Amino acid sequence: MIKYYLPLTMFLLLAVISTAQIRHNKWELGLQAGVTQSQNDLNDFGIYENNIGGGLLLRYHLDNNIALRANILYSEISGNDNNYTARAARGFRFSAPITEGSIVAEMDLLGKRRWKSNGSFRRIVSPYIYGGGGYVMSKPTVFYNEAGNEALRERINKDKASYKEGHLIMPLGLGVKIDINENWVLGLETGIRVLFDDYIDGVSFAGNSRKNDSYTFTNITATYRIPYISDRDQDGISDANDACPDIKGKKETGGCPDTDGDGVADNLDNCPEEKGLNANGGCPDTDGDGIADKSDQCPEVKGALVTGGCPDKDKDGVTDSKDACPDTYGSIKLGGCPDSDGDGIKDADDKCPNESGTAANAGCPKKDRDADGVLDDDDKCPDVAGIANMGGCPDLDADGITDALDKCPKQAGTATNGGCPGVSDTDKKILDAAIYGVQFEPAKSIIKTSSYGILDQVVEVLGRYPNFNLSINGHTDSDGTTDSNQKLSDARAKACFDYFVSKGIAQNRMKYAGFGESKPVSDNTTKAGKSKNRRVEFELGI
């Protein structure tokens, strides 16, 4: 009876655990099958004493290397003196069904390699060793051959009297595991069961009473790693599928609570104590306009989202109560009124509603007659195309002086020269040289012929500056009367003027004047000083 009771009990236990879905991915449940051999008073490890056995195992992994394992094994051991020459004369034989229950610790030598650092699974082949303790039930049937062993009769009777069914054992062994995949594992192992007595075969005193019995089990295993299914809040929804794994909830709301019962989980419900609609985040919508009452500025009148839930007949984004033109689509900036030309002036106030204009022009555009980009109101030359930084006036030579004020509109110049270029240093030297280079007959206004060359150079200078005018100023020393010196300076200046006219210089480009002795540049008391004061100055200007 025992040989059926223990395996059945273990099977039912494992079945209950399995159907209860053990919530730990470190559990394994499996089968084992193999060959049992015994070493006792009737045999040694021999090929004649192999018996098939099998059972169940349950393994729990403490970590990647260490596991605890529970075993239930049913098999049989047997022995026969006739298989051994040295014992044939004794003629004993026995058979004993055994039911073993044990708990062992396993060390998986390469177990850490089974799981990668990111937690993913890696198939490996790993050796392991095990050891532990257990209990075996045995009820041997012994043929003592009493007729042929009268000398052992007393010992045989003692063995019969000392018989017991239960024995403590110490399982020891080694094996190798082969991962088929993340869930299924095959194994091959062999181990010995060391007994602490000499009675598993029913023979002790009639055999070798000084040596305890033992048996081996060489077997294959097939185990299944039970997937981990966790449900911390015990609401019947696994943590993997539970949006609120630590708070008991409903399946309809993904495992989360729903206080108001509107089908929206509290953690997603903007109104968790008011029954509402999923579309409104769990909040009520009295007017049915799709906007939750808490966000609806007009909760009892159907409206639009853009107007905060209030009505907007012309759908321009301005609520009717604030729309100055509630029946006409308009601009939010203009209080809901239209602005056809988009100039920021509503049509009702725009004198040119179809032309973009300015408020200063009552909505009409400013003009730009010369199309130079400068409006007529700001254009200093509204009928002539110009440039903005010149106030709308042209500047052909780009010297910063408008053509209207530029005396040299086609030559870049300076403001001091009226827009004309300045006199070069070389030409200034010619004019400076002419001051004392032009010589006259003593006390007369007749130009010496030796001075024609320098005057001709002045003519050339005037030709290079056609927009410049020439001032000819005569001066004398203090010899003679003031009146005579004034007349002489006038005459000498005019003589130069006449010479230039004779050379083709327009009279309207020149003017002459005499200043007598009134503007000396040196001391008239010395000969050198008087020589400097007798001069004709030539000044170019605009």
Quickly list H helices, 69-190: 153-162
Give the residue with greater pLDDT, 148 vs 504.
504
β-pairing, 510-514 vs 469-475, is parallel
**Whether pLDDT at 126 is above 80:** yes
pLDDT at 8: 47
pTM, two decimals, is: 0.45
Q: Is residue 499 pLDDT above 60, yes or no?
A: yes
* Helix 452-464 with 425-437: angle, nearest 10 deg: 150
Which DSSP letter does residue 283 get?
B
Quote the DSSP letter at residue 25. Answer: T
Under the banding of pLDDT at 50, 70 and 90, the label for residue 35 is very high
Q: Match 């195309």 to its residue by tokens.
A: 385
According to the model, what pLDDT value does residue 156 have? 82
- pLDDT score recorded for residue 69: 97
Region 37-53 average pLDDT? 80
User: Which residue in the block uniquely carries the two structure tokens 């004794």?
Assistant: 90
pLDDT confidence band for 1 (50 / 70 / 90): very low
Residues 453 and 499: their CA atoms lie apart, in Å, by 12
pLDDT average, residue stretch 482-486: 94
Spatial distance between the Cα atoms of 407 and 226, rounded to a whole number of angstroms: 105
Residue 542 has pLDDT above 50, yes or no: yes
Summarised one tens digit per residue, pLDDT across range 404-435 is 776 788 777 677 777 787 788 898 899 998 89
C-alpha closest to that of 94 among 10, 189, 159, 26: 159
Q: Which helix (H) or strand (E) holds 162?
A: helix 153-162
How far apart, in whole angstroms, are the C-alpha atoms of residue 82 and residue 213? 19
Q: Among 17-26, 164-173, 320-329, which range has the highest average pLDDT?
A: 164-173
CA dist., res. 522 & res. 504, Å (int): 35
Beta strands in 139-246 (DSSP E): 141-143, 166-179, 184-195, 214-225
- 262 Cβ neighbours under 8 A, 6+ residues apart: 269, 275, 276, 277, 278, 282
Express each pLDDT in 230-286 by its tens digit.
777 788 787 778 788 888 888 888 888 888 787 888 788 788 877 878 777 778 877
Cα–Cα distance measured from residue 236 to residue 225, given in angstroms and rounded to the nearest whole number: 22
Calculate what percentage of the chain has a pLDDT beyond 70: 94
- CA dist 311 and 321 (Å) reads 8
What are the structure tokens assigned to 385, written together?
């195309």
Q: Look at residues 148, 270, 243, 337 and name the one whose alpha carbon lies nearest to residue 280.
A: 270
User: Is residue 122 predicted with pLDDT exceeding 60?
Assistant: yes
Residues with Cβ < 8 Å from 452, sequence gap 6 or more?
A: 499
The SS3 of residue 54 is: strand
What is the DSSP secondary structure assignment for residue 414, as one 8-state letter? B
Helix (H, G, I), strand (E, B) or coil at 511: strand
The least confident of 77-81, 322-326, 345-349, 358-362 is 358-362
The yes or no reply on domain 2-225 and CATH 3.90.1150.10 is no
In terms of DSSP bridges, do strands 141-143 and 93-108 run parallel, antiparallel, or are they unpaired?
antiparallel
Of 319, 321, 323, 362, nearest to 344 (Cα)?
A: 362
Structure tokens at 39: 């070493």
- pLDDT, mean of residues 152-178: 89
Percent of the chain with pLDDT over 90: 38
- The DSSP secondary-structure symbol of 153 reads H
Parse the chain into domains and list their residue ranges. 2-225, 425-541
- pLDDT band, very low/low/confident/very high, at 12 (cuts 50, 70, 90): very low
Alpha-carbon span 263 to 285, nearest angstrom: 15
**238 or 452, which is more confident?**
452
CA dist 521 → 237, 344, 475, 524, 530 (Å): 118, 72, 10, 9, 9
Average pLDDT, integer, range 23-31: 78
Q: Given a cut of 50, is residue 4 above it in pLDDT? A: no
Cβ-based neighbours of 139, under 8 Å, separated by 6 or more: 2, 3, 96, 97, 165
Q: What is the mean pLDDT of the chain?
A: 85
**Which residue from 105, 79, 52 is spatially nearest to 218, judged by alpha carbons?**
52
Find the largest Cα–Cα distance for the chain: 193
Residue 30: the pLDDT is 96
pLDDT of residue 13: 44
User: pLDDT tens digits for 194-243?
Assistant: 999 888 888 878 778 788 989 999 999 999 998 767 777 788 787 778 78
Which pLDDT belongs to residue 205? 84
pLDDT of 179 above 90: yes
Q: Find the length of the chain.
A: 542
For residue 377, the one-letter residue type is D
Q: How far apart are CA 99 and CA 165, in angstroms?
A: 10
pLDDT number for residue 304: 80
φ, ψ at 369 (rounded to 5°):
-60, -40
Q: Is the pLDDT of residue 23 over 70?
A: no
Composition of the chain by helix, strand, coil, percent to 5: 25, 25, 50
Q: Which amino acid is at 505?
A: I
Residue 458 has pLDDT above 70, yes or no: yes
User: For the CA atoms of 308, 312, 316, 317, what is the dihedral angle to 10 degrees?
Assistant: -10
User: Is the pLDDT at 176 greater than 50, yes or no?
Assistant: yes
Is the pLDDT reported for residue 446 higher than 90? Answer: yes
423 DSSP 8-state letter: P
Other C-beta atoms lying within 10 Å of the C-beta of residue 337: 21
Q: What is the pLDDT of residue 47?
A: 58
The CATH number of 425-541 is 3.30.1330.60
Task: Give residue 18's pLDDT band: very low, low, confident or very high (50, 70, 90).
Answer: very low
Q: Tell me the residue type at 429.
A: K
447 Cβ contact partners less than 8 Å away, ≥ 6 residues apart: 438, 439, 440, 455, 495, 496, 499
Q: Which residues of 32-56 are buried (b: 16+ CB within 10 A; e: fewer)?
A: bebebbbbbbbbeeeeebbbebbbb
Averaged pLDDT, 288-294: 78
Amino acid occupying residue 435: I
Please report the DSSP string for 425-446 in residue order. Answer: HHHHHHHHHHHHH--B-TTS-P
Mention every residue, 6+ apart, whose C-beta is less than 8 A from residue 57.
Answer: 28, 29, 30, 31, 32, 69, 70, 71, 72, 221, 223
